[in-house]
Structure 1
């Protein structure tokens, strides 16, 4: 029997963290008949995450659609995230195939817009109780499984029992720590800083990413005419940034190929960042407990995948556990199904990202595919699907794709270089 012996539950599910993953999980579970307590340590319903790529990759679109957020995002001015990427072989510029469907997309949108929107949506969902100012201080355990949380609230300490506890509380998850879930950390040998600018034109009006081997940078247009501009250099550059953050940041941007005209734009935020951002992976489940979003897996910020994975993992959890969480099935079997999906869909991406976080140059496979993508439209679309996390590493680097990339590069090598008369 995988249900707790006690049948006295305040809720079916208690979720710690009312950001993207927590709100999405609460909405999707409640729509499936689950009673949810959604706990948020901050008391301000308009609170938002500051340090973020502010990007929802295309893999997140189906979840946004199911949540009913697409019209609200469009109304709020979220920008459909087309993209181009600089490499030493030139720019990779994905375009829809002639006569074919448009490329999949999601949105670039500031978290100051997105977080209050999805939190309000969760609070208005029947079956969800949004409890602001509730900080989880411990777990309630029974017979070797988690059966609830202890929380500090504006009214004092409180115990909330539930069949399932969900940690949606970020990479430094208190829920995972209290449950003693083992944490794997992969060193990230890049650091990152970002700032928001208004009036910063970008080539084609779309997002730009620079693969400088090993340094990285990106510029993503967001809602309200604001562009987030980020630099992710090798840590060898860290002493210079520590000595003069603003000067080093601006000099780095000015040196980019087709650099955005940062000196003529208005900076509307501080330059913020982190000098140590390891990639974190945890088992996504334990008895009576599940982890979603960054609590389960924190990706490298240079890829901008965290928001998309937060929404996807919330969706996978709701699909797997909703009946059992409502008392109509085997909860441990449901959690095992969620864990299998999470590992199958994300582990390969994380392995590649952890390797790339070593700030190394492109490996032979990457050189083959990236160079072909800069020279061939279909290879550019193939890369777009991978960067958007719509295909996994096995499809991205499958033998057929590698053979096609080799043929593109061979054809390019045989084409005489153009000469100027």
Structure 2
């Protein structure tokens, strides 16, 4: 196999995409002493469709990378407020050893820029406004040895990381297509000037109706703390109605049903309604092939239980960096390097495979008529059950925690990863 040497390459590793996954990967690789080139097609600051809410799982990753979450602009929250079945109650984030007991809100307008700047501070080289069009392959081995860009440039490296999101050109260029047996979601959101901008809880609504049909998904109201609230909804493709709904119209109709004093009107809208696909449960595999590593949305690492992507983007970036750092050590042979990189997909399956399988079963169940209604009607009145559900849906457990932790961990272990 012909691989660029350190003197021939523009970097040890090229990371394509400076979202949370790419920037986390670049941060950990640079901190390990590797020369990292981080390529971002847009320029910061830039908008990104997201709920902007961060669970304690995501907060842990920010703290691990040394991001100052006490700086201005970060809004803390205590937990989740759940609305449904005529009930409204608040669930505090669980007290755990592995995770902090608070969440955050920060708009993607500057969240991604903060995480990317953190990677640069660690030593990564960031180039903005560079659109990667595809991989460069070695003529003899077929391995990825670099990338081409829209402006005709070529950048070469010993390894390439695809962090370019759901529509990843790199993975497609290597023949890695989406798995049809994995759930997909769609999220739409906008912002309103609203008194709901300041809230100690992330608020989720478990009942989304399209006429007389209860849809599998949820709505949210996340206060941003700057006078606006992020208001949106997420839906799953396990419903027969998926693809036949105008999600923007559904969001507008949902907002009109809200209390007038919240101000969710078109006059108070500060941004257009935008949507994005949510690739879930490892819907693109394998996560390593011939010199290309997939992280974040590129590999479909979104949690199918709750649609959370940022935490898993940063986590898969950290895991990938650990494997890559071992593979590219100076004393490793090409054969050993390849063997090490090929362990990455299994490492991900060991970490998330069983849990994501549980999530797939969950979304398949709530996509069936009546199941979502039954669960909302009979589950919400039981606080203990809802605290268990918060841990399960948020993947927030300790390894040696209480009974609920042990049940969730055991289920994740016995569920077959795929």
TM-score computed with the length of structure 1 as normaliser: 0.77
Q: Aligned pair in 2 of structure 1 residues 391, 185: CA closer, same or farther (>3 Å)?
A: farther
2:149 matches 1:157: no
Hey, what's the Cα distance between the residues in 2 that align with 1:237 and 1:183? Answer: 18
More helix by share: 1
Counterpart for residue 382 of structure 1: 388
2:141 matches 1:133: no
Hey, what's the Cα distance between the residues in 2 that align with 1:342 and 1:400? Answer: 16
| Deviation by residue 1:295-342 (Cα, 9 ceiling, x = unmatched) | 011537882411111111111111222132343443333323332221
Counterpart for residue 72 of structure 2: 75
Of residues 171, 187, 205, the one that matches 2:166 is 171
Q: Aligned pair in 2 of structure 1 residues 181, 64: CA closer, same or farther (>3 Å)?
A: same
Of residues 395, 404, 407, the one that matches 1:398 is 407
CA shift at 1:165, angstroms? Answer: 0.7
Hey, what's the Cα distance between the residues in 2 that align with 1:401 and 1:253? Answer: 40
Alignment partner of 1:386: what SS?
A: helix
Q: Aligned pair in 2 of structure 1 residues 133, 397: CA closer, same or farther (>3 Å)?
A: same
Hey, what's the Cα distance between the residues in 2 that align with 1:135 and 1:400? Answer: 41
Counterpart for residue 86 of structure 1: 83
Counterpart for residue 345 of structure 2: 339
Counterpart for residue 231 of structure 1: 233
Alignment partner of 2:39: what SS?
A: strand
Structure 2 stretches lacking a partner, 5+ long: 208-213, 412-418
Q: Aligned pair in 2 of structure 1 residues 341, 374: CA closer, same or farther (>3 Å)?
A: farther
Counterpart for residue 307 of structure 1: 310
Instruction: Indicate conservation of the 8 Å contact 1:185/1:281, yes or no.
Output: no
Hey, what's the Cα distance between the residues in 1 that align with 2:343 and 2:375? Answer: 36
Structure 1 stretches lacking a partner, 5+ long: 403-421
CA shift at 1:134, angstroms? Answer: 2.2
Instruction: Summarize the alignment of residues 185-264 of structure 1 with structure 2, pairs less than 5 Å apart.
Output: 185-186=180-181, 192-201=187-196, 205-212=200-207, 213-215=214-216, 216-232=218-234, 236=241, 241=246, 245=248, 248-255=250-257, 262-263=264-265
Q: How many residues align?
A: 386
**Which protein is bigger by CA-based radius of gyration?**
1
Instruction: Indicate conservation of the 8 Å contact 1:17/1:169, yes or no.
Output: yes
Hey, what's the Cα distance between the residues in 2 that align with 1:325 and 1:210? Answer: 47
Counterpart for residue 37 of structure 1: 37
Which of 315-324 and 171-180 deviates more?
315-324
Counterpart for residue 317 of structure 1: 320
Instruction: Summarize the alignment of residues 7-26 of structure 1 with structure 2, pairs less than 5 Å apart.
Output: 8-26=8-26
Counterpart for residue 360 of structure 1: 368
Of residues 106, 111, 129, the one that matches 1:109 is 106
